[in-house]
Structure 1
Amino acid sequence: MQTSIFTQSIEDSIDEPIINEQQRRFITSVSRAHAFQLERQGLFPKHLKLDNNTNGWKLTEILAWVRSRPIAELKQEATNND
């Protein structure tokens, strides 16, 4: 079966939102340098090169990464009212 560039495949996500660096940093609270370090280690979603000076990330991949992070539990200290 021949595929056309106009035929959407399962892997093709034309309608998927792409977020910029500022949005990625807000959602993940991870610095730019740390995000690229994690990406090189395969521990963070890969960026998309939008042009020479602009990177983007698939929103669904970033949200999946955030959801995969462990949840820290806060310890409640006993209050002494002596």
Structure 2
Amino acid sequence: MAKSPHSAEWKIKVVEDYLSGQGSYDYLAEVHGIGAKTLREWVHKYRKQGASCFEKKQGNAHYSKEFKTMCVEAVLRGEGSV
């Protein structure tokens, strides 16, 4: 998924504009230069998870060399699979 060019604060403002009745999906999407479907998805996520749904997520986990070695050795001993 591509990184959004919009900040979490901006998304929350647009969603709250919709929820406070300041316009329809189509109207607010046009005013703010986003797709109505995108706004609908943001509102859905916001209703389910709150404002935290727009916080940046951590990237992939980083494992130490020791942990990776331990995992490879366990697989080679037949204690697991890849």
TM-score between the two structures when normalised by the length of structure 1:
0.25
Taking CA–CA contacts closer than 8 Å with sequence separation of 6 or more, which of the two structures ends up with the larger relative contact order?
A: 1
Higher-Rg member (1/2): 2
TM-score between the two structures when normalised by the length of structure 2:
0.25
Which one has the bigger strand percentage? 1
Which one has the bigger helix percentage? 2
